[in-house]
Amino acid sequence: MMVLILKMVLASACITGIYFLLLAREKSFRFNRWFLLLALVLPLTVPLIEVEVNRLPANSLVQNYAQTLSSWQHTVLTDNSGPNLNPVSPVSGTGFTDILWAVLLLVSALFLFRYMLRVYRLLQLKKNSVRVQRAGRCVALSEEVVQPFSFLSTIYVNRQSFEQEEIPADILLHETAHCEQLHSLDILFGELLLVLTWWNPFQWLLLRSIRQNHEFLADEKVVRTKAGETVSYLQLLLASVRSSAYAPMVAEFNYAFIKKRFTMIQKKTSRLATLYSFTSLLACVLVLACFMSFRYTAVWQQKFTEKRIDTVPAVQPGKSFETYLLDKSFSFTEQGVSAEEMAEYKRITDKYSAAAKEKNKKWVEISKDDQTRLQNIFGRMSKEQQRGQVVRFIKRPPPFAKNVPTATQFENFKKAATYGVWLDDKKVANEVLNQYTSSDFAHYSVSKLYGAAKKGRNYTHQVNLMTKKAYEDYLRDARKNANEPMMIMSWRPHVAMVEKTK
């Protein structure tokens, strides 16, 4: 969750930077309005997009362990001397994430209450005011109003000032522009998003920029309607700087901003404004693309070493490995699938089996569409139909339990004549372990090499070590995919002498 929040904040920061760098000083007010509204939404949605990318070979730590597990079908299990694989117990109690969620929801609830209270106060103000029609627009008269403002389709003014005709026509025209252009809807939408994204400082800045841009749009309407009276209008703006109890929901009034409005009113439209607009939009798309979440689907390595895995669960004596795999099938049906679907399943697997044989490889990439189809058919097969399939889908084993090597074991791992060392999925020299202590690791597994796997190597065992950070990443990914079946393949026949266990 923290990673997602960070992505959203960074995306907002980039978009806000684009706005102030390219658009804030330009008179492209209409374009700015839609850009700012889009800037509120995109950082909340783009980081949620996942773009799936297949990469070959699979070098990630998680996939390395998945390959280790899939090698069960190639393994001759002769004893139970290795450490047992124990499931990781669910974390109990209240964790940091739960506390963080509780804080976020509590503060969001408070902001929602504030939002509803502000809207309610404005609706009540209209209800308790005297309403009159002026130039086809509803004007609410109330003694509570100090500074004229608008909300939705209604203009709010001080009753005494209105009756004594002390409110200039230009001010009413300015507020009419707000109503005609539906600026209140932008604010209501932005404030509602702020209820959920109050933790993002750039959302506050963008909402403030939206309010300011509304004032620029309304000023532009007045200046265009009453050309030649710009000076008198500027004087009115200067005189209008007062406080208002309802201003936070509808407008912004202060000397610094009035000065900025002066500058915008007198500024000539730049020929580069349009170019800036399109450039900023393109830049926004490119920046946000960097925050898209790329999800990599790793495929099996084409070169896979046969080896004895000491950390896999032992098959019970007198129980064949085929029976073990059938018991671990992720899904099956009593009636099974039709002969046509069985033929389709065989046709797909034969295609990849032939490709593996042609390339003299044990593992070949199966396309996503074919893998999805195989999984669908396999999950509806009967147990008898699943028997002997070269491609099958089993329940994903539980994550490796935390397994810290002892100081003695760790010292033994430094012996190059016995152990080949893989550290966080990377082959390293044994001397690298001198930079660590046994407590720096959260898990280890030992694999004894047999047959062809020993050729060209001066060690007899392979040890895989995971640092604490790598183990946390492994657990996170394992739990995320816990309900997804695991595909295992065997293009070459192997004999599993599992009945001769000790």
**Which pLDDT band holds residue 85 (cuts at 50, 70, 90)?**
very low
**Which pLDDT band holds residue 382 (cuts at 50, 70, 90)?**
very high
Length of the chain: 502
Question: Which own/partner pairs from 466-473 qualify as long-range (CB within 8 Å, at least 24 positions apart)?
Answer: 466/61, 466/424, 466/441, 466/442, 467/423, 467/424, 467/440, 467/441, 467/442, 468/440, 468/441, 468/442, 470/61, 470/424, 470/425, 470/442, 471/402, 471/441, 471/442, 471/443, 472/442, 473/61, 473/62
Peptide bond into 47 cis (omega under 30): no
Residue 100: both structure tokens together: 């963080």
Q: What is the model's pLDDT at position 396?
A: 82
Question: Judging by beta carbons within 10 Å of its beta carbon (0-12, 13-18, 19+), is residue 90 exposed, middle or buried?
Answer: exposed
Question: Judging by beta carbons within 10 Å of its beta carbon (0-12, 13-18, 19+), is residue 231 exposed, middle or buried?
Answer: exposed
Question: How many percent of the chain have pLDDT more than 70?
Answer: 69
- pLDDT digits over 165-179, tens only? 888 888 888 888 888
Which residues are 269's β-sheet partners? none
Residue 117 has pLDDT above 80, yes or no: yes
- pLDDT digits over 50-82, tens only? 554 444 333 333 344 344 444 333 333 333 333
HEC profile of 472-495: HHHHHHHHHCCCCCEEEECCCCCC
- pLDDT digits over 184-226, tens only? 999 999 999 999 889 899 999 999 999 988 888 888 888 888 7
| Low-confidence winner among 168-172, 256-260, 291-295, 385-389 (lowest mean pLDDT) | 291-295
Report, as an integer, the average pLDDT of 458-486: 87
- 296 vs 216, higher pLDDT: 216
Question: Tokens 């939408």 appear where?
Answer: 189
- 455 vs 491, higher pLDDT: 455
Contact 399, 478 (CB under 8 A): yes
Nearest-angstrom CA–CA distance, 215 and 219: 6
Residue 202 contacts by C-beta under 8 Å, 6 or more apart in sequence? 9, 12, 13, 15, 16, 43
Closest alpha carbon to 301 in 232, 389, 361 = 361
Nearest-angstrom CA–CA distance, 340 and 345: 9
Nearest-angstrom CA–CA distance, 404 and 371: 36
**Which pLDDT band holds residue 240 (cuts at 50, 70, 90)?**
low
What is the Cβ-side half-sphere exposure of residue 59, based on CA atoms within 13 angstroms?
Answer: 6
Nearest-angstrom CA–CA distance, 87 and 366: 30
Q: What is the model's pLDDT at position 250?
A: 52
Q: What is the DSSP letter of 367?
A: -
Q: What is the DSSP letter of 19?
A: I
Report, as an integer, the average pLDDT of 470-496: 73
Q: How far is CA 484 from the centre of its chain?
A: 20
**Which pLDDT band holds residue 355 (cuts at 50, 70, 90)?**
confident
Sign of the CA dihedral with 313 first, then 318, 323, and 329 last:
negative
Contact 251, 265 (CB under 8 A): no
Q: What is the DSSP letter of 420?
A: E
**Which pLDDT band holds residue 342 (cuts at 50, 70, 90)?**
very high
Report, as an integer, the average pLDDT of 381-406: 87
**Which pLDDT band holds residue 285 (cuts at 50, 70, 90)?**
low
Contact 299, 58 (CB under 8 A): yes
Q: What is the model's pLDDT at position 243?
A: 45
Q: What is the model's pLDDT at position 347?
A: 92
Q: What is the DSSP letter of 96?
A: H
Relative to beta strand 154-158, strand 149-151 is: antiparallel
Contact 178, 171 (CB under 8 A): no
Cβ count near 312 (within 10 Å): 19
- Looking at mean pLDDT, say which of 71-75, 239-243, 302-306 comes out highest: 239-243
Q: Which helix (H) or strand (E) holds 308?
A: strand 307-309
Which residues are 465's β-sheet partners? 423, 444
Q: What is the model's pLDDT at position 94?
A: 52
- pLDDT digits over 326-339, tens only? 888 888 899 999 99
Q: What is the model's pLDDT at position 325?
A: 75
Residue 278: both structure tokens together: 């399109």
**H helix count then E strand count, the chain:** 18, 13
Q: What is the model's pLDDT at position 301?
A: 36
Cβ count near 145 (within 10 Å): 21
Averaged pLDDT of the chain:
75
**Which pLDDT band holds residue 269 (cuts at 50, 70, 90)?**
low
Cβ count near 239 (within 10 Å): 11
- pLDDT digits over 21-56, tens only? 878 877 778 888 988 898 888 888 877 765 544 443
Residue 462 has pLDDT above 80, yes or no: yes
Q: What is the model's pLDDT at position 421?
A: 92
Q: What is the model's pLDDT at position 433?
A: 92
Residue 283 has pLDDT above 90, yes or no: no
Question: How many percent of the chain have pLDDT more than 90?
Answer: 17
Relative to beta strand 419-423, strand 461-467 is: parallel
- Answer yes or no: pTM beyond 0.95: no
Report, as an integer, the average pLDDT of 295-314: 37
Q: What is the model's pLDDT at position 189?
A: 93
CA dihedral 223, 225, 228, 233 (to 10 degrees): -50
Q: Which amino acid makes up residue 187?
A: I
- 350 vs 312, higher pLDDT: 350
